[in-house]
Amino acid sequence: MNTLEQYVFPSIGSIQVSNLSPADFAGALKPIWLEKPETASRVKQRCDAVMNWCAAHGYIMASPVGVVSQLLPKQPGKRERVANQPAVPWRDVPVFVSNVLHAGLHTRSKLMLEVLILTAARSGEVRQMAWPELDMTAGVWTLPAQRMKAKVPHRVPLSPYLIELFERLRQDADLEVTELVFPSRNNTPVSDMALTKCLRDHKVASDTPGRIATAHGFRSSFRDWASENGYARDLAERALAHTIRNATEAAYHRTDLLDQRREMMLAWEKWVLNKQ
What Å distances lie between residue 73 and 1, 67, 69, 137, 227, CA to CA? 27, 12, 8, 49, 34
Whether residue 251 has pLDDT greater than 50? no
**Residue-level pLDDT at 204:** 95
* DSSP state letter for 133: G
Other Cβ atoms closer than 10 A to 149: 12
Note whether 213 and 205 are within 8 A (CB). Answer: yes
Whether residue 82 has pLDDT greater than 60? no
**Residue-level pLDDT at 34:** 85
For residue 271, what pLDDT band results from cuts at 50, 70 and 90?
very high
Residues β-bridged to residue 141? 134, 156
Note whether 225 and 92 are within 8 A (CB). Answer: no
37-52 confidence digits (pLDDT tens): 888 989 999 999 999 9
Q: Angle at Cα 96 formed by Cα 93 and Cα 101, nearest 5°? A: 120
Mean pLDDT of 61-77: 88
Domains, the chain, ordered by start: 3-83 (1.10.150.130), 90-272 (1.10.443.10)
Exposed, middle or buried: residue 240 (CB in 10 Å: 0-12, 13-18, 19+)? Answer: middle
**Three-class SS state of 30:** helix
For residue 254, what pLDDT band results from cuts at 50, 70 and 90?
low
Counting residues of the chain whose pLDDT is more than 90, the rounded percentage is 69
Confidence (pTM):
0.69
Compute the distance between CA of residue 145 and CA of residue 199 in angstroms, rounded to an integer: 29
**Residue-level pLDDT at 239:** 94
Question: What mean pLDDT value characterizes the chain?
Answer: 89
**Residue-level pLDDT at 212:** 92
Whether residue 249 has pLDDT greater than 80? no
Counting residues of the chain whose pLDDT is more than 70, the rounded percentage is 92
Alpha helices by DSSP H, listed for the chain, are 3, 9-12, 22-33, 37-56, 78-83, 93-96, 108-119, 123-127, 160-172, 192-201, 217-228, 233-239, 247-251, 258-272
**Three-class SS state of 221:** helix
For residue 255, what pLDDT band results from cuts at 50, 70 and 90?
confident
Burial 157-178 (b: 16+ CB within 10 A, else e): bbbeebbebbeebeeebeeeeb
Mean pLDDT of 212-223: 94
**Residue-level pLDDT at 248:** 46
Mean pLDDT of 186-207: 91
What Å distances lie between residue 186 and 1, 41, 115, 183, 189, CA to CA? 11, 27, 22, 7, 9
Compute the distance between CA of residue 122 and CA of residue 128 in angstroms, rounded to an integer: 10
Please tell me which of 75-84, 92-101, 207-216 the model is most confident about, judged by mean pLDDT: 92-101
Other Cβ atoms closer than 10 A to 271: 17
Classify strands 134-135 and 140-143 as parallel, antiparallel or unpaired: antiparallel
Compute the distance between CA of residue 195 and CA of residue 116 in angstroms, rounded to an integer: 10
147-179 confidence digits (pLDDT tens): 888 788 999 999 999 999 999 999 988 888 899
User: Lowest-confidence range among 8-22, 146-160, 241-255?
Assistant: 241-255
Question: Can you give the C-alpha Rg of the chain in angstroms?
Answer: 21
